[in-house]
Amino acid sequence: MTPSLAERLERLTGLLAEWHPVWTIEPFQCLKPPWAAFPSRGTVVPWSDPTALAGWLPAEPLGELIDLPRVPAVAAPPPERLRLHVGGRKWRQITAFVSRVHIVPGQSIVEWCSGKGHLARALADGRYAPVTGLESDARLCSEGQALAKRQGVHMHLQQQDVLAHDVLRWLRPGTHVVALHACGDLHLRLLELVAQTGCALSLAPCCYHRTVHEQYQPVSESGRELARRHALALTRQDLALAVQETVTAPCHTQRQRRRAKAWRLGFDLLQREIRGVDAYLPIPRLRYGDLPADFQGFCRWAANEKQLVLPSITDWTARARAGWRRLEEVERLEQVRHLFRRPLEVWLALDRARRLEEAGMRVDLGSFCDRELTPRNLLLRASRE
């Protein structure tokens, strides 16, 4: 049987808390993998064998808990003529999103943090009225308004700070608020106002770490209670994992990036030795075109940046090799860490979903498109019972 939102939240809280030391480390900065935190599981971790490692990690229960349904389409996609001036990928996201927004006749529509209001325009095409986009940037408002006029679409883009108190004037029980990729505090504010006013909501959240709070405060009562019970404390930096992707770049760029990383890690070993301090030392970023020709040149540059004196070194090749070995370890650790990326994102979305369930709303959570179209593909829909 498919678990309910509450059950998913409960079980994910347990798993994220239990494996917290594994997914919250910064692999680049630590010399020792965090396995020591798992004495009960035995000290021998199948570290060098990825298949055995997969068995050691809770891949199966995590997989089950993040397996959310695709939200079924309930409306026709927007007319193609409106795609003009919208990027191809963005338009396909809007199309997938719009056909899953369940507008009830008589509802007015508000788009939250609308930018130029592409989503609002796609919804405004004669089918629903009135449609208003709220956006703090005056330039985006006027450009979006001009675009709507050219396409003969009736909608209104309103310059409005959604964090300001007077935003409430746009929200009535008969309002349906839509938000595609609204960041951290901006969508949390929306959530609170929806819970207060009973507006209907269709939200694709994004950038959970964009928040003024250093420490994550679950927004649902059940989230708070579970986090307390499992001692799950998340920092803003922990939240950033939820939206981190493994970047796909052309082969030669990937090779260059790996070399730069291996050199940084090689230098890191060296600087620990020179300073006599077993701690990571950040060094400035370097554009790939500015990367010195070899590892020795890189260490000279980095030492100079950090005002360290390089000892006389004869075994540069061995030193460089140590950097490459560390890179392999870091990459393995990153793979392990990334097993928890989607579970964390789903957990944050479930906390939001439960906030609205607790406010007496009917809520569903699923995906609105494939991850290839946008990895931020979760759609949270809520309406008053």
Q: Which residue is nearest to ligand SAM (CB)?
A: 113
User: Which of 96, 110, 180, 365 forms a contact with ligand SAM (CB under 6 A)?
Assistant: 180
266 makes contact with ligand SAM (CB under 6 A): no
By CB under 6 A, the residues from 85 to 124 that bind ligand SAM are 113-115, 119
> Closer CB to ligand SAM, residue 65 or residue 162?
162
Cβ-Cβ contacts under 8 Å for 236 (sequence gap 6 or more): 209, 211, 213, 214, 215, 216
User: Which of 163, 249, 277, 318 forms a contact with ligand SAM (CB under 6 A)?
Assistant: 163
> Closer CB to ligand SAM, residue 110 or residue 232?
110
> Closer CB to ligand SAM, residue 182 or residue 363?
182
Could you report how far apart the first and last alpha carbons of the chain are, in Å?
24
> Closer CB to ligand SAM, residue 65 or residue 243?
243
Instruction: Assign residue 117 a region (left: φ > 0; alpha: ψ between -120 and 50; beta: otherwise).
Output: left
Q: How far apart are CA 35 and CA 287, in angstroms?
A: 34
Q: How far is the CB of 134 from ligand SAM (least distance, A)?
A: 6
Q: How far is the CB of 180 from ligand SAM (least distance, A)?
A: 4
> Closer CB to ligand SAM, residue 206 or residue 262?
206
Q: How far apart are CA 161 and CA 141, in angstroms?
A: 12
Piece of 77-85, 158-166, 320-328, 369-377 that binds ligand SAM (CB under 6 A): 158-166
Piece of 178-186, 245-253, 283-291, 349-357 that binds ligand SAM (CB under 6 A): 178-186
User: Which of 121, 181, 187, 259 forms a contact with ligand SAM (CB under 6 A)?
Assistant: 181
Q: How far apart are CA 272 and CA 350, in angstroms?
A: 42
> Closer CB to ligand SAM, residue 66 or residue 180?
180
Q: How far is the CB of 128 from ligand SAM (least distance, A)?
A: 18
Q: How far is the CB of 129 from ligand SAM (least distance, A)?
A: 20
Q: Do you find a cis peptide bond into 130, omega within 30 degrees of 0?
A: yes
Strands 378-384 and 361-367: antiparallel
> Closer CB to ligand SAM, residue 44 or residue 212?
212
Q: How far is the CB of 16 from ligand SAM (least distance, A)?
A: 26
> Closer CB to ligand SAM, residue 180 or residue 241?
180
Q: How far is the CB of 119 from ligand SAM (least distance, A)?
A: 6
By CB under 6 A, the residues from 128 to 157 that bind ligand SAM are 134-137, 140
Instruction: Assign residue 250 a region (left: φ > 0; alpha: ψ between -120 and 50; beta: otherwise).
Output: beta
Q: How far is the CB of 80 from ligand SAM (least distance, A)?
A: 19
User: Which of 186, 188, 302, 380 forms a contact with ligand SAM (CB under 6 A)?
Assistant: 186
377 makes contact with ligand SAM (CB under 6 A): no
Q: How far is the CB of 210 from ligand SAM (least distance, A)?
A: 9
By CB under 6 A, the residues from 203 to 232 that bind ligand SAM are none
Six token digits for residue 94? 């809007």
Cβ-Cβ contacts under 8 Å for 44 (sequence gap 6 or more): none
**Where along the sequence are the contacts to ligand SAM (CB under 6 A)?**
113-115, 119, 134-137, 140, 161-163, 180-181, 183, 186
